[in-house]
Amino acid sequence: MLEFCLVAAEGAELGEHFDVAISKDSFEHIAEPERYLEMLKRYVGPGGDIAIGFGPLWRSPYGAHQRAMTRVP
């Protein structure tokens, strides 16, 4: 069975545990990435995995935000 959950940081303190935590293209929006990673670690149960993915970074020449916010000839 596969179940997706959107949870708040407070849930990690309540003892909720998951087999996998996924973070895709979110670190550029997080003020304290180290704290966020620690929270993910608290959510994942023993033997679980954390999957983190990065696309082109925001201000890189190929970052999606850059294309949307800057006119390039």
Taking the C-alpha atoms of residue 36 and residue 9, their distance in angstroms, rounded to an integer, is: 8
Helix (H, G, I), strand (E, B) or coil at 66: helix
Residue 29 lies in a domain: yes
Element (DSSP H or E) covering residue 28: none
List Cα–Cα distances, 51 to 4, 31, 39, in angstroms. Answer: 14, 19, 14
Say if 5 falls within a structural domain: no
In a domain, 57, yes or no: yes
Q: What is the pTM of this model?
A: 0.63
Domain limits at 63? 17-69
The reported pLDDT for the residue numbered 47 is 93
Write the pLDDT tens digit of every residue in 5-43: 777 777 666 677 889 988 888 887 888 889 889 988 888
Instruction: Tell me, yes or no, whether 52 lies in a domain.
Output: yes
Residue 3 lies in a domain: no
Say what the pLDDT of residue 31 is.
Answer: 86
pLDDT at 49 over 90: yes
CA angle 45, 48, 54 (to 5 degrees): 120
Pick the residue with more confidence: 67 or 20?
20
Residue-level pLDDT at 48? 93
Number of structural domains (the chain) is 1
Report yes or no on 55 lying in a domain: yes
